[in-house]
């Protein structure tokens, strides 16, 4: 950046500030600004195009084009060069505009005489507002400095537009935030909640995009960054040393907070004349624009970290936002574009519910929300734009619906539903320590699924008999680097300690498909769910599996140990994995470590192929657990992650139940212990049917134990079995109808 350029930039921004400060109507102001830019940049034309609606741009002010064209010339998004800048959010800089693809000649503006064209988007934090254009007769490419200046000005214009400087504050705007709005998203975690909106990132309003004194501004930026770094350091040191999950996440934050590149770019913008706040937000806008085009979940996650840090920095600089602003309501429902697992752990159980614009069912935040049993709705489009701090909101997490500023009738219906649920909870509490014995005297074992330390308190609270599925990959997923063996064994030991003698079935690493480790080389597979995942990765790259098996043996430290391998599709895979376990045991024995008092090695039955494995397999395996989520998706060939098809086939479909029945029969024949640990085990009606066809160990979300147990205790499984058999004989597609009739008749 040349000194001259800095001076040009500053003097232009100073003129801009004066123009903004003057009393003038919106249009007069815009006219003045285009004149000023053209004059400062020595170009014949400067024009501002703003969005009229989401698809149409309108020429709103110009210096150099025909004045009659203002508010007349319009273009669709993507049309002509201006439309292209608006659509892509990327600059166009060309010495020969008419030869650019998509150039549209607009006779009414008289622009044919202008050869050079530079257009930059006017956008604020990913929200597109318009396009700023300069044009000149001589054919030349605008210099990098000139383009940077244009971008800085576009940034200032975006802030001004946000403040309503051009259009004036419309009455329509305030009406916008009083009406009830319903958001239909996707369920991230079931449950219902009522409360008041707490915006995770209240919009920081920047009133001073242009600075008077760049030196002072630079100091402000540096002081704020120092404060930010201290805050991150404090967060890191506030975490228990053994809480590796949170530490790993926060280390990534610390790295960004100390990033030299980030700081340098902001300092350069301050040197050009922007205020510290505007410089931070400019960086943030760039990151958000990048985020739109990136699909890699890891990179998106990191850009999100950066976005989050920028928000923190903006709040420090402006004194606005959660640190200084409004008090958090007593019943907060968190509303955010997205949130990282660390921030969510920060809020902890204080939240009643969470609504996100982005996120995914498998995201780390969703994992944490599930661990904390907080209702979560994701993909609630535009909720951060609509919701204001303190707004009344109710969440129907079961259906993925949020009602913002709900009508009274909605609230009443909702409260009735919650009251019924609360009553049910009371009932579940009273049966918590009773065994699940059905009316016909059958005993069903109810276990819980877990994956984080945060899950373990539910073990006692839910009445689960143990952990039927401990998903070990979550520990790997929420970190930025491969965990060490010692860390893993310490963690597994703590899990066993918390279980206090109850059984814990550890499932070895199940990665691939939707579970991608940021620190492993990504594999580009056409069908990841059918690809290189789980045990396939473990056997091909045995290093991690060996390390994990060793960590498990050491964690058991002489106690009983249960391990199962995910996604075993044929007998050989089980044998190979078991051989690894034998080797690990032998190694530990030689090293003099205590060996587990007992060792059970099982397999997850998640592909139909394993149901037809040779009898020897069923005899050899210590236990089998049906991973119903995967098994069902392969049975029906319906992607469990695809909203379009994932609910298309009923678990109570007769074909599927018959298939499961076959597995039960084979296990009975060989005396193989069998359980079921997919999500369906936690759905009361499905759980009843699974128990009725002979699955007597079910592992589910902790919150499901109460409802499932309560229903089991009131049901005659033998009679239910009769209903299922009859439906099958009658040739029905699903047993759901007759089963529901039976349950209703039973009260
Ligand atoms: C399953 O597939 O049912 C299962 C329990 O494993 P996951 O959901 O972790 O794939
Ligand atoms: Mg699975």
Residue 605 · residue 663 · CB < 8 Å: yes
Q: Give the pLDDT mean for 354-367.
A: 79
163 burial level (CB within 10 Å; 0-12, 13-18, 19+)? middle
Domain that holds residue 99: 3-162
Tell how far the Cα of 734 is from the centroid of ligand 2, in angstroms.
Answer: 24
Q: Is residue 368 situated within a structural domain?
A: yes
Residue 451 CB–ligand 1 contact under 6 Å? no
The verdict on residue 705 lying in a domain is yes
Among the listed ranges 315-319, 556-560, 624-628, which one has the minimum average pLDDT value?
A: 315-319
Task: Enter the tokens of residue 284.
Answer: 């943030």
pLDDT of residue 298: 67
Q: Is the confidence at residue 654, as pLDDT, over 90?
A: yes
Instruction: Tell me, in angstroms, the distance from the centre of ligand 2 to residue 606's CA.
Output: 6
630 Cα to the center of ligand 2, angstroms: 5
Bridge partners of 653? Answer: 734
Distances (CA, A) of 551 to 546, 584, 588, 593, 664: 8, 10, 10, 11, 32
- Whether residues 306 and 338 share a domain: the answer is no
**Phi, psi (rounded to 5 degrees) for 107:** -55, -40
pLDDT at 3: 63
pLDDT tens track for 723-741:
999 999 999 999 999 999 9
Ligand 1 atom closest to 513 (CA): 10
- Report the alpha-carbon distance of residue 354 to residue 127 in Å, rounded: 23
Work out the pLDDT band at 364, boundaries 50, 70, 90. low
Distance 600 CA to ligand 1 centre (A): 20
Please work out whether the CB of residue 512 comes within 6 Å of at least one atom of ligand 1: no
Q: Is the CB of 267 under 6 A from ligand 1?
A: no
User: Residues 536-552: what's their mean pLDDT?
Assistant: 95
In a shared domain, residues 542 and 653 = yes
Please tell me whether residues 577 and 603 are part of one structural domain: yes
661 lines ligand 1 (CB under 6 A): no
Give the mean model confidence (pLDDT) for residues 431-445. Answer: 96
CA dihedral (537, 543, 546, 547) positive or negative: negative
User: What is the structure's pLDDT at 287?
Assistant: 77
Alpha-carbon span 266 to 535, nearest angstrom: 46
Residues 372 and 459 in one domain: no
Active site residue 379: no
373 domain residue, yes or no: yes
Does 122 score more than 70 pLDDT?
yes
**Whole-model pTM above 0.95?**
no
In the chain, % helix, strand, coil (3-state, to 5) comes to 50, 15, 35
Same domain, 343 and 305: no
> Are 249 and 355 in a shared domain?
no
- Same domain? For 311 and 331 the reply is no
Residue 467 lies in a domain: yes
Q: Residue 493 — very low, low, confident or very high, per pLDDT cuts 50/70/90?
A: very high
Q: CATH code at 35?
A: 3.30.450.40
In a domain, 591, yes or no: yes
Confidence of residue 708 (pLDDT cuts 50, 70, 90): very high
Residue-wise pLDDT tens digits, 7-59: 778 888 888 878 777 777 777 888 888 999 999 888 999 999 988 877 888 89
Please check whether residue 428 lies inside any domain of the structure. Answer: no
What are the pLDDT digits (tens) for 499-536?
999 999 999 999 886 677 767 777 778 888 899 999 99
Q: Which CATH number goes with the domain that contains 292? A: 1.10.274.10
- Contact indicator for 33, 48 with CB cutoff of 8 Å: yes
Let me know whether 391 and 528 are in one domain. no
Catalytic-labelled residue, pool 46, 60, 667, 677: 677
State yes or no: is 364 an active-site residue: yes
Q: Which two tokens stand for residue 646?
A: 């994932």
Instruction: Assess whether 228 and 299 both reside in one domain.
Output: yes
Cα(377) to centroid(ligand 1), Å: 21
Are 335 and 251 found together in one domain?
A: no
Percentage of the chain with pLDDT > 70? 92
Q: Can you tell me the mean pLDDT for 649-659?
A: 97
Domain count, the chain: 4
Looking at the fold, whether 195 and 219 belong to one and the same domain comes out as: no
Which of 168-172, 224-228, 235-239 tops mean pLDDT?
Answer: 224-228
Average pLDDT score over the chain:
87
Q: Is the pLDDT of residue 304 over 80?
A: no
* DSSP letter (8 states) at residue 238: T
Closest CA to 191 of 418, 450, 349, 458: 418
Provide the pLDDT for residue 321.
57
Distance CA 338, CA 303 (A): 11
Extended strands (E) in 192-340? 192-199, 332-336
Domain boundary residue among 285, 300, 318?
318
**Assigned domain for 738 exists:** no
Residue 353 has a pLDDT of: 96
**pLDDT the model gives residue 164:** 59
**156 and 70 assigned to the same domain:** yes
Out of 364, 379, 403, 445, the active site residue is 364
Residue 741 domain-assigned (yes or no) = no
What SS3 string covers 508-527?
A: CCCCECCECCCCCCCCCCCC
Helix, strand or coil for residue 665?
A: helix
User: Which ligand is the nearest neighbour of the Cα of 568?
Assistant: 2
> Which of 620, 622, 624, 619 minimizes the C-alpha distance to 605?
624
Distance CA 747, CA 735 (A): 18
Q: Indicate whether 168 pLDDT > 50.
A: no
Looking at residue 235, its pLDDT comes to 78
- The mean per-residue pLDDT over the stretch 93-115 comes to 85
Helix, strand or coil, per DSSP, at residue 57: strand
- CATH code, domain with 389: 3.50.30.10
Ligand closest to Cα of 507 equals 1
């Amino acid at each position: 950046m040349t000194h001259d350029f800095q001076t040009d930039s500053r003097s232009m921004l100073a003129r801009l500030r004066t123009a903004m400060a003057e009393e003038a109507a919106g249009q007069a102001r815009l006219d003045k600004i285009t004149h000023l830019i053209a004059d400062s940049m020595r170009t014949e034309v400067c024009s501002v195009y703003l969005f009229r609606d989401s698809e149409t741009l309108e020429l709103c002010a110009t210096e150099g084009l025909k004045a009659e064209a203002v508010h007349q010339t319009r273009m669709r998004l993507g049309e002509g060069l201006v439309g292209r800048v608006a659509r892509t959010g990327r600059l166009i800089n060309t010495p020969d505009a008419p030869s650019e693809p998509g150039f549209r000649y607009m006779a009414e503006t008289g622009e044919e005489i202008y050869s050079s064209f530079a257009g930059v988007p006017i956008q604020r934090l990913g929200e597109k507002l318009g396009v700023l254009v300069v044009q000149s007769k001589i054919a030349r490419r605008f210099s990098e400095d000139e383009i940077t200046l244009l971008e800085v000005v576009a940034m200032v214009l975006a802030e001004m537009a946000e403040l309503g400087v051009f259009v004036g504050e419309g009455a329509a705007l305030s009406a916008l935030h009083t009406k009830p709005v319903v958001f239909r998203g996707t369920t991230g975690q079931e449950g219902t909640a009522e409360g008041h909106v707490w915006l995770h990132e209240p919009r920081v309003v920047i009133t001073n995009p242009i600075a008077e004194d760049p030196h002072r501004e630079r100091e402000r930026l540096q002081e704020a960054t120092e404060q930010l770094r201290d805050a991150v350091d404090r967060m890191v040191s506030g975490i228990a040393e053994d809480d590796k999950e949170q530490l790993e996440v926060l280390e990534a934050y610390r790295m960004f907070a100390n990033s030299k590149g980030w700081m340098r770019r902001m300092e350069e913008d301050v040197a050009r004349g922007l205020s510290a706040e505007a410089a931070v937000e400019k960086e943030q806008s760039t990151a958000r624009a990048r985020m739109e085009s990136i699909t890699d979940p890891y990179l998106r996650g990191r850009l999100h970290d950066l976005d989050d840090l920028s928000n923190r920095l903006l709040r420090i600089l402006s004194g606005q936002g959660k640190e200084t602003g409004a008090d958090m309501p007593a019943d907060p429902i968190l509303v955010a574009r997205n949130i990282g697992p660390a921030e969510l752990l920060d809020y902890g159980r204080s939240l009643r519910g969470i609504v996100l614009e982005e996120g995914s069912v498998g995201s780390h935040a969703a994992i944490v929300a599930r661990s904390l049993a907080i209702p979560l709705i994701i993909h609630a489009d535009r909720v951060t734009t609509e919701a204001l701090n303190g707004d009344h909101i109710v969440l129907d997490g079961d259906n993925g619906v949020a009602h913002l500023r709900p009508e009274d009738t909605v609230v009443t219906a909702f409260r009735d539903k919650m009251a019924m649920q609360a009553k049910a909870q009371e009932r579940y509490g009273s049966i918590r320590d009773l065994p699940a014995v059905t009316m016909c005297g059958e005993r069903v074992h109810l276990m819980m699924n877990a994956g984080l330390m945060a899950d373990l308190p539910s073990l006692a609270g839910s009445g689960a008999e143990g952990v039927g599925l401990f998903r070990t990959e979550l520990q790997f997923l929420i970190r930025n680097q491969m965990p060490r063996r010692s860390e893993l064994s310490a963690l597994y030991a703590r899990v066993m300690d918390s279980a206090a003698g109850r059984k814990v079935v550890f499932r070895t690493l199940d990665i691939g498909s939707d579970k991608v480790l940021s620190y492993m080389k990504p594999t580009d597979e056409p069908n990841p769910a059918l690809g290189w995942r789980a045990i396939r990765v473990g056997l091909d790259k045995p290093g991690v599996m060996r390390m994990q098996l060793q960590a498990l043996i050491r964690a058991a430290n002489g106690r009983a140990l249960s391990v199962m391998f995910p996604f075993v599709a044929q007998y050989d895979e089980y044998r190979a994995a078991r051989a690894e376990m034998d080797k690990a045991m032998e190694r530990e024995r030689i090293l003099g470590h205590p060996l587990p008092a007992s060792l059970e090695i099982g397999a997850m039955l998640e592909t139909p192929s394993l149901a037809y494995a040779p009898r020897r397999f069923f005899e050899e395996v210590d236990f089998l657990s049906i991973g119903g989520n995967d098994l069902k998706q392969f049975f029906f060939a319906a992607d469990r992650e695809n909203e379009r098809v994932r609910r298309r086939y009923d678990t109570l479909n007769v074909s599927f139940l018959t298939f499961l029945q076959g597995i039960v029969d084979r296990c009975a024949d060989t005396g193989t212990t069998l359980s079921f640990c997919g999500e369906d085990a936690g759905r009361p009606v499905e759980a009843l049917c699974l128990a009725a066809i002979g699955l007597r160990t079910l592992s589910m979300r902790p919150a499901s134990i109460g409802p499932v147990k309560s229903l089991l205790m009131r049901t005659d499984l033998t009679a239910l079995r009769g209903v299922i058999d009859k439906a099958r004989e009658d040739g029905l597609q699903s047993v759901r109808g007759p089963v529901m009739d039976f349950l209703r008749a039973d009260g």
